[in-house]
Copies of this chain bind each other. A is one copy, B any other.
């Protein structure tokens, strides 16, 4: 693209460096900001840099926080005897959205994936084993995506937790609630039959 100013080019490149944003979308965003008051752009820039400078991973669970311990781990009303293990911060948000869970979390930061070169040492597994060994912890719930990598991760963590005196469970998997049987994929339907529960 031919830019009339180096400053516009820099701003377009900054946006185009974000995932899923191509040069045309980046230009559209920059032209939008140019049409808005200067204060809007300053506020936008401030929100981004302030966030990045002050945000950190909770030293207990790995969730994002603006303090060394996150708001969920600090909350005295949360049940510290149950730890829900998830891949990412997005999963914490999704589970919090359901308002069905009152325990605490542990964010792995991914799943074991030999293809992508992610081994157990790259994930927050050691800290989970340490937490699970604490006297108050009674249950570890694995809320990991039902993929090959996810299952490998669950298998590995389950083995690491054998010495800790905790019950390890997995979130229920099967046909979606409210979903029609005929639209469920084969694997899900097949496993749902194998993993049937007594009524």
Q: Interface residues, chain A, CB within 8 Å of chain B?
A: 1-8, 10-11, 13-14, 17-21, 25, 27-34, 38, 40-55, 63-66, 70-72, 88-90, 92-93, 96-97
Contacts and interface: CB of A to CB of B under 8 A. Distances in A.
Given A1-B93, A4-B89, A66-B6, A11 B51 contact: yes
25 contacts: A1-B93, A1-B97, A2-B93, A2-B96, A3-B93, A4-B63, A4-B71, A4-B89, A4-B93, A7-B47, A7-B54, A8-B51, A10-B51, A11-B47, A11-B52, A14-B48, A17-B44, A19-B28, A20-B28, A20-B29, A34-B55, A44-B45, A45-B45, A46-B49, A48-B48
B47 A5 contact: no
What number of copies of this chain does the assembly contain?
2
A48 B53 contact: no
A44 B34 contact: no
Contacts of A27: 90, 93
B4 A64 contact: yes
A48 B11 contact: yes
A66 B7 CA distance: 7
A17 B45 CA distance: 13
B66 A5 contact: yes
Given A43-B14, A90-B27, A97-B2, A33 B7 contact: no
Given A14-B43, A18-B32, A43-B14, A4 B49 contact: no
B55 A49 contact: no
A32 B17 CA distance: 10
Contacts of A5: 51, 55, 64-66, 70-71
A65 B4 contact: yes
Given A20-B25, A64-B34, A7 B92 contact: no
